[in-house]
A and B are shown apart, each in its own frame.
Chain A
Amino acid sequence: AQKVTQAQTEISVVEKEDVTLDCVYETRDTTYYLFWYKQPPSGELVFLIRRNSFDEQNEISGRYSWNFQKSTSSFNFTITASQVVDSAVYFCALSEAGNQFYFGTGTSLTVIP
Chain B
Amino acid sequence: DTGVSQDPRHKITKRGQNVTFRCDPISEHNRLYWYRQTLGQGPEFLTYFQNEAQLEKSRLLSDRFSAERPKGSFSTLEIQRTEQGDSAMYLCASSVPKGLAPHNEQFFGPGTRLTVL
Are A105 and B103 in contact, CB atoms less than 8 angstroms apart? no
Q: Is B117 an interface residue (CB 8 A)?
A: no
Q: Could you say which interface size class chain A belongs to?
A: 20 to 34
Give CA–CA (A54, B43) in the complex, Å.
Answer: 26
Task: Choose one: A33, A93, A99; the contact of B55 (CB below 8 Å).
Answer: A99
- A113→B104 CA distance, assembly (Å): 35
A33 touches B103 (CB 8 A): yes
Q: How many residues of B contact A (CB 8 A)?
A: 27
Shortest CB-to-CB span from A3 to chain B, Å, is 10
Q: Are A103 and B44 in contact (CB under 8 A)?
A: yes
User: Majority SS of interface residues in chain A?
Assistant: strand
CB-based contact B110/A105 at 8 Å: no
Question: Given A43-B110, A44-B110, A45-B108, A97–B102 Cβ distance below 8 Å?
Answer: yes
Q: Mark B46-66, 1 if CB is under 8 A from A, else 0.
A: 001000000110110000000
Contacts from A to B (Cβ < 8 Å): 4, 33, 35, 37, 43-47, 50, 52, 91, 93, 95, 97-106
7 shortest interchain CB distances as A-B pairs: A103-B42, A99-B56, A45-B108, A101-B45, A47-B105, A95-B103, A103-B43
**Apart from A43-B89, A98-B102, A99-B56, 18 more pairs, CB < 8 Å:** A33-B101, A33-B103, A43-B111, A45-B91, A47-B106, A50-B104, A52-B101, A91-B42, A95-B101, A98-B56, A99-B48, A103-B35, A103-B42, A103-B43, A104-B42, A105-B40, A105-B41, A106-B41
